């Protein structure tokens, strides 16, 4: 039986390079950041100022930034 590990989404604070912030995801205790080619593991703790967002907000962020919302289901599972 496969156990589904939940994903929590966050949005980092806006910067000059990323005016709408970066999309982050935590799955199995591991932090990931969405890059142009998919999810990358982010080293270190959660960025200060990153705030939790709902999946619906993450979908909106993806639409605005030009990502297919299916990327939200592709956050790697640790291990």
User: Could you list the pLDDT tens digit for every one of the 79 residues in the chain?
Assistant: 555 669 999 999 999 989 999 999 999 999 999 999 999 999 888 888 999 999 999 999 999 999 999 999 999 988 7
Number of domains composing the chain: 1
In-domain check, residue 78: no
DSSP 3-46: PPPPEEEEEPPP-SS-TT--EEEEETTEEEEEETTEEEEPPSSP
pLDDT of residue 2: 52
pLDDT of residue 1: 53
In-domain check, residue 79: no
In-domain check, residue 16: yes
Parent domain of 18:
7-73
In-domain check, residue 2: no
Residues forming beta bridges with residue 24, ordered by sequence position: 10, 33
In-domain check, residue 67: yes
CA 50 distance to own-chain centroid: 11
């Amino acid at each position: 039986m496969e156990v589904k590990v939940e994903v929590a989404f966050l949005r980092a604070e806006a910067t000059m390079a990323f005016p709408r912030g970066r999309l982050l995801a935590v799955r199995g205790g591991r932090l990931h950041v969405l890059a142009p080619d998919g999810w990358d593991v982010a080293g270190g703790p959660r960025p200060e100022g990153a705030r939790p967002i709902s999946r619906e907000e993450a979908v909106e962020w993806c639409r605005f930034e030009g990502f297919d919302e299916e990327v939200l289901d592709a956050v790697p599972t640790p291990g």
